[in-house]
Chains A and B, each alone.
Chain A
């Protein structure tokens, strides 16, 4: 017998389902809120820690199709001068007519010519030295850090890393834990060096077989993020770095920003993804003529949430070594 509760349950009250534009708008609102959130104050901010967690998040994001985030209305807002101003923080760069694809393909050609074959063993470490110039947005105060890191090649050993001058021991990866990019050389070697195959190969953490023609906005953001993280890794198998640059050029929404500065004060072209709240204020910097890769720009907020810093960083040295604390 039907009771009143069941009648109520079966009545949809003339409800239309959630539309895709409304879903995208709501998600955009949430992601904007997230993008401006403080990290938990109990947690010491750690780039390495964040990377590992963020990587786990991206994995979750990728497999659940969560990522981001754009409304049709907002699709072109990257071109607006006010948004560009916010992106840059310091100077007033312009979103340029210099195509992002030209810069990225140029960088790919250059990287292809310059790379040398390497093959670290799983029991070795990758030593890298990163220079970070940090400018506090409000006061303009500048500090420079030289962080050195020894990362276990396959993640099975403790790694020693540095976060703005502070030493941090990283415990080995636990079973089922992973990072992007993968540490094991064998896994990196399996990534396609054809850019059109690399993109479908990395979204969904390699579990997706979706062709690029079927990509949603979320899939493209995943691709952009995963490629950016891959490019941050100092050592990649031959052919992978040029492929990642070329793949980045295939991502719709990637833009060139003119007149940005690198950590050495040189003027370069930024390659950004202004559509995403996660991508705001972050970009890769290239020499506008030679397309040499000059470094990354990022932003961080202090644990108390009241200070914002603009970070310019680049790797000045790297090597494959046998032991922790061994320098080349």
Chain B
């Protein structure tokens, strides 16, 4: 995508773009360019690159078809981000098992080597980080889906509590309690109150 620096000054708000797209469908492409990368990144972290390619596209076509239902008065701010991430999260819902399988696999096997780094670095410094990744993946794999959704919307979607509530259509209190539980599970998996102190890497189960 090419954006001329400075041209998008006073860029139109998401709410305005969506409202305009009701009469003028092509306007919706603006949202794609604003959020395609963010939505893709969120989906790719949950499901991997290939399913993310497909679900990112589906997120935007679904959003486009539901644009008449977008209610800016219920949105926090005027950003479409929570709305789009809510749609993406619903789509992830159809792939729960695949997601859990992916995290389980990541908990067991070492992460792929980064070939751009010198061998010595990979061998030594990464061991700790890799262990953390395995712990995190293992914990994510066994979280209840609704807890995982909240946790990952916050951590990977970059949404605030209110935005998560809006994205999932649940009360903010529910968001807080689900997040609290999910974080507790993660902390446990990471070995206590200070996750920077790592346990030994777990054996294969």
Produce 1/0 per residue, B154-182, CB < 8 A to A: 11100000000000000000000000000
Q: How far is the CA of A177 from the CA of B88 in the complex (A)?
A: 35
How many angstroms from the CA of A160 to the CA of B175 in the assembled complex?
55
A75 at the interface (CB under 8 A from B): no
Q: Taking each of A4, A17, A67, which has the highest tally of chain B beta carbons within 10 Å of its own beta carbon?
A: A4
Q: Classify the interface of chain B: helix, strand, loop or mixed.
A: helix
The CA of A18 and the CA of B23, in the complex, are separated in Å by 30
B53 contact set on A, CB distance < 8 A: 18-19, 22, 25-26
B148 → A minimal CB distance (Å): 11
Whether A18 contacts B37 by the Cβ 8 Å rule is yes
B155 touches A60 (CB 8 A): no
In the docked arrangement, what's the CA distance between A60 and B151, Å? 35
Q: How many residues of A contact B (CB 8 A)?
A: 52
Spot the interface stretch: A6-14, A90-98, A148-156.
Answer: A6-14
Tell me whether A124 is interfacial, beta carbon within 8 Å. Answer: no
Does B117 count as interface, using CB distance less than 8 angstroms?
A: no
Return the contact of A40 from the options B22, B36, B44, B46 (Cβ within 8 A).
B22
B32: chain A residues within 8 A (beta carbon): 26-27, 30, 66
Report the Cα distance A27→B23, complex, angstroms. Answer: 19
Q: Is the CB of B26 within 8 A of A61?
A: yes
A204 CA / B3 CA spacing, docked (Å): 9
* Cα–Cα distance between A1 and B64 once the two chains are bound (Å): 42
Tell me if B90 is interfacial: C-beta within 8 Å of chain A. Answer: no
The interface residues of chain B lying within 8 Å CB-to-CB of A17 are 37, 40-41
Which of these, B17, B41, B64, B68, contacts A15 with CB under 8 Å? B41
Residues of A contacting B7 in the complex (Cβ-Cβ under 8 angstroms): 63-64, 204, 207
Number of residues of chain B lying within 8 A (CB) of chain A: 57
Residues of B within 8 A of A208 (CB): 4
Select from chain A the residue with minimum beta-carbon distance to B188.
A4
Inter-chain CA distance A50–B26, complex, in Å, is 12
Please provide the 8 A-B residue pairs with the shortest distance between their CB atoms, ordered closest to farther: A26-B57, A13-B45, A34-B25, A4-B186, A22-B53, A8-B155, A37-B25, A18-B40
Q: B-contacting residues of A (Cβ < 8 Å)?
A: 1-5, 7-9, 11-19, 22-23, 25-27, 29-31, 33-35, 37, 39-40, 43, 50, 53-54, 56-57, 60-61, 63-67, 204, 207-208, 210, 216, 218-219, 278
Known: A4-B186, A61-B27, A66-B29. 4 other contacts (CB 8 A): A16-B44, A18-B53, A57-B20, A60-B27
Using CB atoms and an 8 Å cutoff, list the residues of chain B in contact with chain A: 1-4, 7-8, 11-12, 17, 20, 22-30, 32-33, 36-37, 40-41, 44-46, 48-49, 52-53, 56-57, 60-61, 64-65, 68, 106, 111-112, 132-133, 136-137, 151, 154-156, 183, 186-187, 190, 194-196
- Provide 21 A-B residue pairs closer than 8 Å at the C-beta atoms, listed in order of the A residue: A2-B196, A7-B132, A8-B156, A13-B106, A14-B112, A15-B41, A15-B45, A15-B48, A15-B49, A17-B41, A18-B40, A22-B40, A23-B36, A26-B57, A33-B61, A40-B22, A40-B68, A56-B24, A60-B27, A64-B3, A207-B7
